[in-house]
Amino acid sequence: MFPISSALLDALVLALVDREETYGYRITQEIQNAVKVSESTLYPVLRRLQKNGALETFDRAYMGRNRRYYRITALGKAMLIQYRKDWKEHKLQIDEILREENLS
C-alpha cells in the first residue's frame, strides 16, 4: 500500500544480511513477505550495496552447485545503524501525525 523508497529497501536488505549470511533468492523472498516489490528489484540493490562496500559476497557449494552468499561489512553495519536511527525518527514523525486523538 505504501510505496517503498530505495533507501528503505537498502536498509531492509542490510538488516537481513546483518542477521545472518544469506543469498539472493532468500533475501528476495523475505523482503517480499514484508513489502510489495518486484522480484527483479533486488539484484540491482544487492549489486549496488556490494559496489559501495556495504556488502561482500562469497561462494559456497550447495547441492553440487554454487550459491553466492552476502555478508555485511563494517561499512554496511555503520550504514545500518544510521538507517535504524533515521527510520526511528521518521516513524515518530509519521506516528505523531497519524495518531488518533485521545477521546477521554
By C-beta, is 58 or 88 nearer to another protein?
A: 58
Applying CB under 8 A, does 47 fall inside the site for another protein?
Answer: yes
Bridge partner list, 80: none
CA separation for the pair 27, 13 (Å, rounded) = 7
**Binds another protein by CB under 8 A, chosen from 39, 58, 78, 82:** 39
Nearer to another protein, 3 or 92 (CB): 3
User: Which CB atom, from 66 or from 104, has the smaller least distance to another protein?
Assistant: 66
Rounded to a whole number of angstroms, the minimum distance from the CB of residue 9 to another protein is 12
Rounded to whole angstroms, what are the CA distances from 34 to 10, 11, 66, 68, 72?
14, 13, 27, 23, 21
Binding flag, residue 48, another protein (CB under 8 A): yes
Placement of cell 477521554 in the chain: 104
CB of 22 to another protein, least distance (A): 11
Cβ proximity of 71 and 17 under 8 Å: yes
Residues sharing a CB contact under 8 Å with residue 2, sequence separation 6 or more, in sequence order: none
Residues that bind another protein (CB under 8 A): 23-26, 28, 38-41, 43-44, 46-48, 51, 65-68
